[in-house]
Amino acid sequence: MGNAYEIYALRYATMSPRTPHMNFLVPDPHDSAAQDLDYFVWLIRGHGRDILVDTGFNAEEASARARKLTLNPVDALERFGVAASAIRDVIVTHLHYDHAGNLDRFPQARFHLQEREMAYATGRCMCNGLLRHPFSVEHVTLMVRHVYGERVTFYSGDGEVAPGVTVHRVGGHSDGLQVVRVETARGPVVLASDAAHYYANLQRKSPFPIVYNVGDMAQGWETIERLAGHPDRFIPGHDPMVTEIYPRASDKVDAWALHLPPSRSFAE
């Protein structure tokens, strides 16, 4: 495990209450309640570098979309001891509003993005209000500016951001959605982002309702399982259960250590 990293989930917002129809495309008819939706960014630390996965949203976006912002992710990082100006690499899993805000707050960063996501977010699908809704034109426009500033590294499928940190396009939720595989002391951990909002989306093979291509999403679950190699080593993008089963990593900010084993196992 020469390339082992630490991974931290930093929670910055939440949405409650929710109904089962908001969490599953075809919910279980026996379900009468649904989990809240937590919002995270992820920090990968090791070998003298900090790599941020996703950048969250700010107070203006929270107000526009009726979300409860606990703390701007940039400020959460600061409380965790990482200045935004010190971040050199930001992996953007996809360009939805809650994963690609605050792009102006990382002045030294290079952004790592799937080429297919940039094309999707600026192409003909954005003429459709339903597909366009999860995007913010301000965020997408700022990423275009970063492209013109030669600050974006594009990937087409699989790619390596650093030794032991790789990205893999799965699509589904958004056409260019990528997951992140990180080598840790407990084995490879896959940050699934919105390939699975909740553990149950993958475990039940039941899609989250915001989906561009259901077939790609289903194949993406297989990719996640293969990359992780164990059901305890994939991390969903919005599941509050993450905060219940992983060790807390700070008394100054809502942060949890994902490179450590969870308190419960999903293995059969």
What are the pLDDT digits (tens) for 189-214? 999 999 999 999 999 999 999 999 99
Give the tens place of pLDDT for each residue, 208-224.
Answer: 999 999 999 999 999 99
Domains detected in the chain:
6-257 (3.60.15.10)
- Structure tokens, 173: 């939720």
Q: Tell me the mean pLDDT in the region 59-69.
A: 94
Q: For all residues of the chain together, what is the average pLDDT? A: 96
Could you tell me if 170 and 219 are in contact, meaning their C-beta atoms sit under 8 angstroms apart? yes
What is the DSSP code (8-state) at residue 248?
B
Q: What is the model's pLDDT at position 161? A: 98
Residue 1 has pLDDT above 60, yes or no: no
Q: Tell me the mean pLDDT in the region 64-92.
A: 97
Q: Tell me the mean pLDDT in the region 174-191.
A: 98
Could you tell me if 231 and 187 are in contact, meaning their C-beta atoms sit under 8 angstroms apart? no
d(C-alpha 249, C-alpha 10), whole Å:
9
- Structure tokens, 119: 């094309």
Q: What is the model's pLDDT at position 102? A: 98
Residue 34 has pLDDT above 90, yes or no: no
Q: What is the model's pLDDT at position 32? A: 75
